[in-house]
Amino acid sequence: MATPFWKYHALGNDYLVLDPERLDFPLQPLAIQRLCHRHFGVGSDGILLGPLPAPGADFGLRIFNPDGSEAEKSGNGLRIFARYLWDGGKVGGEPFYVQTLGGLVQAQVQNQGQQVQVAMGRVSFQSGLIPVTGADREVIQEPIQVQGQTFTFSAATIGNPHCVILVPEATPALAQTYGSALENHAFFPQRTNVQFVQVLSPERLRLEIWERGAGYTLASGSSSSAAAAVVHRLGLCAPAVTVEMPGGELAIRIAPDFAITMTGPVTGVAQGILASDIFAG
C-alpha cells in the first residue's frame, strides 16, 4: 500500500497531513525526521496525524515536530487540519471539536476553506503547568541568561510551552541567535517555544519565533496566542490584536479569562504518494 500525504501551509508554517488509516510504516521519530527534511524528504515544519478516534470530540489529532518530538498543540497545525477535513468533506461550515494532547479545541472553516477560526483554549502563566522550574508562581517578567545575555521573559502555556521576551525590535537574528539556547534552557524541563515580541501598537504585535523541535519558523499560531496573552497580561495590548510574523498575520482575541480565539488563512500546497524508498539510505 502506498502512503498518501497532503501538504498545506499556514502563513509559511507548513505541515504534512498523514491519514492513520493509510500509513504503511510506523510513524517513529526517524521516519518523521526524514519526512520533514527539506532535502532528503518532502520537507515541512511538522506532521499532522489524523483524524484519530477521540471520545468526547469529533476528531483526534497528533502533532509532531521535525525533530520527531510530539507537540501538545499547534495553532497553524489545527487550522491546516480543519481545512484538510473540509477538503475531504468530513466537515462543512459548522464548528467542530478536535482533541489534541494539549486539550480540546473548537474549529470552524470559513470563506470556502481559505480561513479557519480556532478556539485554542485558555493561556496559563502558572509555572507548574508550563512547566518552568522553581517555586509555583505566575512567570511574569523574570531574568534569564543565555550566551552571556540577560533577557527578561514571561512564560505561558496554551497546551504547549512558550518563553516570551519583549524587545524594542523583533528581528530574525534575535530568534536565530538565542532561540536554541532558550528552547533548551534548564528553566524548561519540556523545552520551550520562544518568541521575541515587539509592541508596534496596542492593536499590533510583531513576532520572531524559534519553535521547540522545529527551529526558526515564519509563523506559529500557538506562539501568537501565548505572546499576545503575555503582552495583554502586562497591560501593553488590547484584547483584540493583530500578530505580524514574517509569514503573515493572525487575528488573536483574548477573553477576560485568557481564552484565545485565533483566526487566519490556510493554503493548499500539494498532495502525493510517498516513494517506497523515501526511508532508504
Give binding residues for substrate as ranges.
13, 65, 75-76, 160, 193, 211-212, 221-222
Of 104 and 202, the one with the shorter C-beta distance to ligand LBFN2T5F is 104
44 binding ligand LBFN2T5F? (CB under 6 A): no
Cα separation, 233 vs 251, in Å, equals 17
What is the rounded CA–CA span in Å between residue 274 and residue 18? 10
Residues in region 63-92 near ligand LBFN2T5F by CB under 6 A: 65, 71, 74-77
- Least distance in angstroms from the C-beta of 6 to ligand LBFN2T5F: 17
Q: Could you say whether residue 139 binds ligand LBFN2T5F (CB under 6 A)?
A: no
Radius of gyration of the chain (CA): 18
Q: Which three cell numbers stand for residue 28?
A: 517513529
Interface with ligand LBFN2T5F (CB under 6 A), residue total 20
For residue 184, what are the β-bridge partners?
A: none
The CA-based diameter of the chain, rounded to the nearest angstrom, is 55
Residue carrying the nine cell digits 527539506: 38
Q: Is 57 in the site for ligand LBFN2T5F (CB under 6 A)?
A: no
- 195 lies in the site for ligand LBFN2T5F, by CB under 6 A: no
- The annotation places the binding site at 13, 65, 75-76, 160, 193, 211-212, 221-222
Closer to ligand LBFN2T5F by Cβ: residue 202 or 251:
251
Beta pairing, strands 267-273 & 259-265: unpaired
**Stretch 220-249 residues interacting with ligand LBFN2T5F (CB under 6 A):** 220-223
104 closest CA partner among 170, 158, 161, 24: 158
**From CA 225, how far away is CA 251, in angstroms rounded?**
9
Of the candidate residues 179, 213, 247, 264, the single one contacting ligand LBFN2T5F (CB under 6 A): 213
Q: How far apart are CA 25 and CA 272, in angstroms?
A: 16
**Residues forming the site for ligand LBFN2T5F (CB under 6 A):** 13, 45-46, 65, 71, 74-77, 160, 193, 211-214, 217, 220-223
